[in-house]
Amino acid sequence: MGNPALNLPPALDAFVDDQVRSGAYADREALIVEAVDLLRERIAADAADDEAKLARLNAKLETAIDRLDRGEGIAVTDLNAHFDEIMAEVRRR
């Protein structure tokens, strides 16, 4: 029943056949078209989520840069010592 142009793993092939046989889809092509449409929608939604995350990150970076420009930052001359201080603070909490 499988389409020789579309080689699915046996478990997926059986799933497609079961869906068609159950009447959920008119044929294999209808199921595959819907699956591809759903995948396309998911990829578009993921891209929109990524854009929103990037916008939030850029806003946070802008805020941080503004604070640095106002002199609200701290000078770190010894990065290892600074991280040790941070870790000590975390352990105290």
Rounded Cα distance between 53 and 29, Å, is: 36
Q: Is residue 5 part of a domain?
A: no
Torsion over CA: 79, 80, 83, 84 (sign): negative
Q: Is residue 4 part of a domain?
A: no
pLDDT at 73 over 70: yes
pTM above 0.95, yes or no: no
Q: Is residue 24 part of a domain?
A: yes
Name the residue range of residue 80's domain.
10-92
Neighbours of 16 (CB within 10 A): 21
* Domain total in the chain: 1
Q: Is residue 53 part of a domain?
A: yes
Region for residue 25 given its phi and psi (left: phi exceeds 0; alpha: psi -120 to 50; beta: otherwise) = beta
What are the structure tokens assigned to 74, written together?
A: 């701290």
pLDDT at 4 over 80: no
pLDDT in tens, 18-27: 999 999 999 9
Q: Is residue 3 part of a domain?
A: no
Q: Is residue 22 part of a domain?
A: yes
pLDDT at 10 over 70: yes
Find the angle CA(54)-CA(58)-CA(61) to the nearest 5 degrees: 140
50-55: average pLDDT: 95
Q: Is residue 1 part of a domain?
A: no
Q: Is residue 39 part of a domain?
A: yes
Q: Cβ distance 25 to 33 under 8 Å?
A: no
